[in-house]
Structure 1
């Protein structure tokens, strides 16, 4: 049995009829361009500015959008999620995004980090927002085809965020480094910057310290959740359309419980965000918790899909095989035991135990 993405919406909370219809329409559009990066970029440019931002009172809808994209197609979701995050970051900074597509390149990699220096006249300490970037930035998803990106770089001993025109001189995507089997068309290799012009977005440290940093991390978890939901739907179809299969039903029951817990966690976080409770240390702890719960649920769904469905879909169903490979790689944005240790440290420093 070969499957294709349906675009069926993934609801993290009850929505209005209009909101559910909007979600279904977006899911259908994402499913229609599954696996097509160019079409996904067009979709991102078309819908990015019209969607609400996290913390705007519609956080459950925002994360339902990301979950629906994840369930429709993870390649499409991988294109839209950072574009939407970049728009939200610029909105927090009080800057317009303008036309075109955006990425967010803020991960650190091996070797000498990317450096920024003032391009203004004088001593550069207060000469304005103009900078130049020099060095290599790792993990630049779609750096060769995006219009713009928000890029973190080091200014002295602090990190700062910069807006960069990726099509301008001094920007070169390094080809031939992306060999991933999952998200194969979302080339996330490095970019070399050689005196590239950049505009500061926020003060040094602002990108990591702003409340939206944690909110963006939860948004990524919503995409993971959507990818896991799509696999769970396949498990359900298999378990309920063949002769009674107690093992298949056992996997389906376990998957339902895991995804219920993940959905409740995301829904609770959305309500807390809209209530103004996810700022500062509380926001950071919440992001670590949510990502932990969702990532572990998604890993369980992957395992149970393999056990319950067997090798057939992995070998003969293009959509299923690609979704499994995509989700396995996407989940590695969760840092597993390192994030668990970070959460433990945060909980230990938070005063009274939270449970």
Structure 2
């Protein structure tokens, strides 16, 4: 962790500020409990750092000690999200949405966002009507509905085009209904259905700009960083258990998940560098693959750590129990089989493009390689 913080001093500052309030009163670092009051105190600290956290695809920054080395600014962002997720996934859910909303505004040309907590609510399925600067209708799956100051909401206009609205949540005509949210995992996220009646709102960007911008997929990778951060924290409990009482079976389980996490860690680094060096590309295939991989690893970590440690941490350790329950729900923000279908389609398209290029450049080489997109 020390090497990581040396490369990411912003993370070090955030970590110090947060852990200063978490462990006030010498709270046991292995059994600490996140209360609602503590969540909001931590969120307030995080919001104060918002303007310092890089947007995705914002390039690299120099290393003062070694100017020949640079740090990926996208990776800096993901490391912060992963750290927040290791503390509490409710906070991570709110803060990731807040940062994503700010990056959306930045990408669409709205440079000065209002102060406070932001969110992006993009689930479709309920109709919204926007006429003469006012929106009416229903928006579901809105996390942080009662605490957010400003929301970005998607809707489809009469021509079926995707539009984005900016809504000040502190005005009349807004009713928030939490009754449908019966979750056990992610229970504290304040996820609600919002009913709007002639609420003042303003359009952001051109039609379909929200979906078509390259940052749509860059932001999706940030969610995967949250999943990964929580999974690595759960895995760290197995490291501690093995160090306190070594056994062959604990070592075997640790080797299994440690290998998977290490490979994924390197893919995060690779993809962050790719996004920063090719910021005009959306990297959809690579990001879909990353998300699918992290979802699989998160499920594996929950299962394997449980097999290694038994029921005790699920029953006696409030942080472990909450993180496990929350992560099981949060990874369902993945779209499972649909994501795999899209990965297959995009892989086939990439193979066709590679084959076409190889055929036009060097026919004999194409015949030898056969357009294999995974060959080393």
Q: Is 1:257–2:259 an aligned residue pair?
A: yes
Give a deviation string over 1:281-333, Cα, whole Å, max 9, x none.
xx211220110111111111111111111111111111111010011111111
Aligned-residue CA RMSD (Å): 2.1
Q: Is 1:354–2:345 an aligned residue pair?
A: no
Q: 8 Å contact 2:14–2:46 — kept in the other structure?
A: no
Structure 2 SS opposite 1:190: strand
Cα offset, 1:31, TM superposition: 5.0
Please give the alpha-carbon distance, in whole angstroms, between the structure 1 residues aligned to 2:256 and 2:100: 32
Q: Is 1:224–2:237 an aligned residue pair?
A: no
Please give the alpha-carbon distance, in whole angstroms, between the structure 1 residues aligned to 2:200 and 2:3: 40
1:93 to 108, 116, 120: 108
Aligned to 1:77: 92
| Structure 1 gap segments, 5+ residues each | 1-7, 120-130
Cα offset, 1:15, TM superposition: 5.4
TM-score normalised by the chain length of structure 1: 0.87
Point out the structure with max Rg over C-alpha. Answer: 2
Aligned to 1:150: 152
Q: 8 Å contact 2:58–2:279 — kept in the other structure?
A: no
Q: 8 Å contact 1:49–1:87 — kept in the other structure?
A: no
Residue range with higher mean Cα deviation, 233-242 or 36-45: 36-45
Please give the alpha-carbon distance, in whole angstroms, between the structure 2 residues aligned to 1:144 and 1:10: 38
Q: Is 1:203–2:206 an aligned residue pair?
A: yes
Give a deviation string over 1:179-225, Cα, whole Å, max 9, x none.
11112110212111112111111111110110110011000000111
Aligned to 2:336: 336
1:275 to 277, 282, 287: 277
Q: 8 Å contact 1:150–1:163 — kept in the other structure?
A: yes
Cα offset, 1:9, TM superposition: 7.8
Cα offset, 1:45, TM superposition: 2.7
Cα offset, 1:170, TM superposition: 1.8
Aligned to 1:135: 137
CA separation of 1:139/1:10 partners in 2, compared to 1, >3 Å: closer, same or farther?
Answer: farther
Determine which structure has the larger helix proportion and give its number.
2
Please give the alpha-carbon distance, in whole angstroms, between the structure 2 residues aligned to 1:80 and 1:10: 25
Aligned to 2:28: none
Q: 8 Å contact 1:28–1:72 — kept in the other structure?
A: no
Give a deviation string over 1:97-139, Cα, whole Å, max 9, x none.
1211101100124xxx3323231xxxxxxxxxxx322211111
Please give the alpha-carbon distance, in whole angstroms, between the structure 2 residues aligned to 1:72 and 1:29: 13
Structure 1 SS opposite 2:55: coil
Aligned to 2:51: 49
Please give the alpha-carbon distance, in whole angstroms, between the structure 2 residues aligned to 1:171 and 1:19: 37
Within 5 A, what are the aligned runs for 1:97-108? Answer: 97-108=113-124
Cα offset, 1:172, TM superposition: 1.3
| Structure 2 gap segments, 5+ residues each | 24-32, 60-72, 355-371
Please give the alpha-carbon distance, in whole angstroms, between the structure 1 residues aligned to 2:134 and 2:20: 38
Residue range with higher mean Cα deviation, 39-48 or 98-107: 39-48
Give a deviation string over 1:56-112, Cα, whole Å, max 9, x none.
121111111111111122222112111111111111122111211101100124xxx
Please give the alpha-carbon distance, in whole angstroms, between the structure 1 residues aligned to 2:296 and 2:113: 34
